[in-house]
Amino acid sequence: MADGREILYFDAVQHTRPDSIDVRQLPDRNVNSEIRFDRLLGEWVVIAAHRQTRTQLPDRTQCPLCPSRPGSPTEIPASDYEVVVFENRFAALPGVSTHSSALADHVAGSAPTSPTEKSGRSEVVCFSSEHDTTSAQLGVERTRMVIDVLAERTTALRAMPAVSQVFCFENFGAEIGVTLSHPHGQIYALPFTSPRAAKIEANARRYRDEHNRNLFGDMFAAERDSGVRVVCANDEWTAFVPTAARWPYEVLLFPNRRVADIPELDDHARTRFAELYLDVLGRFERRFDEPMPYIAAWNQAPKGAEDFWWLHLQIFSIRRAPGKLKYLAGAESGMGVFISDTTPENVAAELRAVTP
């Protein structure tokens, strides 16, 4: 790209793309992120104030993720594309450096080894050149292509020595915080293990040590055997509402056979995922009179947990009822104690009842 960022095109059929030259005059990249350590919680926090200037819900004609047109260049120089990945112009992670003064304040032994400079990477994944489509409308073939792209990028990013976890996700709906309505997702190559993954990893290790069994597997088997919270399933995947769901509408998609990350999924599992994922998104889209805003977050194994981790996708929405959103109030924001407005068993039954 014109400012030195990398862009990758993924197509079902090979293209030469002679029109994919970025002719824009872009300013120098201003990525000035810091990673600071919260000693009380034992977690890393990314400080990325430069992201305040990122594009915010532009008019359709100004969408930076649409293909370029004569006189209207965008982040995608080509006039058309299938799936595209590029480094985020408003990246949270590239060029990350530790905050020296904050780190100097740490008492000896209070913080783990700090992430190294230039140790992370933020990428944007555009699912389609069609601005007005959604992930729920992509179809099995394109959804499968997106999964293949996520697998390839996960493999490439995990190979970076300083990367601890590759986090792939999609935000949908302005209510959830989306700043661009074009169908897309993001990938964060984190130079540390996220708080959620670290907590899951610790619990799974402890369970293995105490019971010589896999925590993911035992939990998943119990959900499948009960069936009360299962929404839908096929021969490779099962979608269910977790028994202690924190969000009003929350579904986990588990592969029926344990794999640690997306690259480990074979061809059949990837295709069957695409089918079940579209089924679940369709139920989210049709549960109320308007599509539910959601976050779809891949939980892949952090480095060092591959031998027992069970890949899964978490999809959740802040929509709790027609015209009503779930806001994090005092207990949730202040103490991390979630208070759910819905019952997991009822939510599963409601989603099962939605016509596919």
Please give the model's pTM, rounded to 2 decimal places: 0.92
Assigned domain for 311 exists: yes
182 annotated binding-site participant: yes
How confident is residue 114, by pLDDT bands cut at 50, 70 and 90? low
Is the per-residue pLDDT at 106 higher than 60?
no
CA 130 to chain centre: 21
Last residue of a domain, one of 170, 193, 216: 193
Looking at the fold, whether 158 and 280 belong to one and the same domain comes out as: no
Task: Tell me, yes or no, if 184 is annotated catalytic.
Answer: yes
Assigned domain for 103 exists: yes
106 annotated binding-site participant: no
Please state, for a pLDDT cut of 90, what percent of the chain lies above it. Answer: 74
Would you state the pLDDT for residue 96? 53
How many Å apart are CA 187 and CA 21, to the nearest integer?
24
CATH number of the domain bearing residue 36 = 3.30.428.10
pLDDT, one tens digit per residue, over 155-210 is: 999 999 989 999 999 999 999 988 899 999 999 999 999 999 999 999 999 999 99
DSSP letter string, 155-218:
HHHHTSTT--EEEEEEEESGGGT-S--SSEEEEEEESS--HHHHHHHHHHHHHHHHHSS-HHHH
Last residue of a domain, one of 149, 174, 193: 193
Looking at the fold, whether 124 and 201 belong to one and the same domain comes out as: no
Residues 112-121, mean pLDDT to the nearest whole number:
64
Residue 287's Cβ-side half-sphere holds a number of Cα atoms within 13 Å equal to 26
Residue 36's DSSP bridge partners are 45
How confident is residue 95, by pLDDT bands cut at 50, 70 and 90? low
Looking at the fold, whether 117 and 250 belong to one and the same domain comes out as: no
Into how many domains does the chain fold?
A: 2
pLDDT, one tens digit per residue, over 226-279 is: 999 999 999 999 999 999 999 999 999 999 999 999 999 999 999 999 999 999
Question: Which one is catalytic: 15, 50, 99, 184?
Answer: 184
131 annotated binding-site participant: yes
pLDDT, one tens digit per residue, over 166-178 is: 999 999 999 998 8
Assigned domain for 2 exists: no
Looking at the fold, whether 181 and 230 belong to one and the same domain comes out as: no
Would you state the pLDDT for residue 100? 41
Residues 90-115, mean pLDDT to the nearest whole number:
54
Looking at the fold, whether 100 and 152 belong to one and the same domain comes out as: yes
Are 285 and 292 contacting, i.e. CB atoms less than 8 angstroms apart? yes
Are 179 and 55 contacting, i.e. CB atoms less than 8 angstroms apart? yes
Name, in order, each residue with C-beta under 8 angstroms of 84's C-beta and a sequence gap of 6 or more. Answer: 7, 8, 9, 10, 76, 78, 125, 126
Residue 342's DSSP bridge partners are none
| Range with the poorest average pLDDT among 15-19, 129-133, 183-187, 203-207 | 15-19
Name, in order, each residue with C-beta under 8 angstroms of 52's C-beta and a sequence gap of 6 or more. Answer: none
- Give the mean pLDDT of the chain: 91
DSSP letter string, 93-117:
STT-EE-HHHHHTSPTTSS-PPPPT
Domain that holds residue 104: 7-193
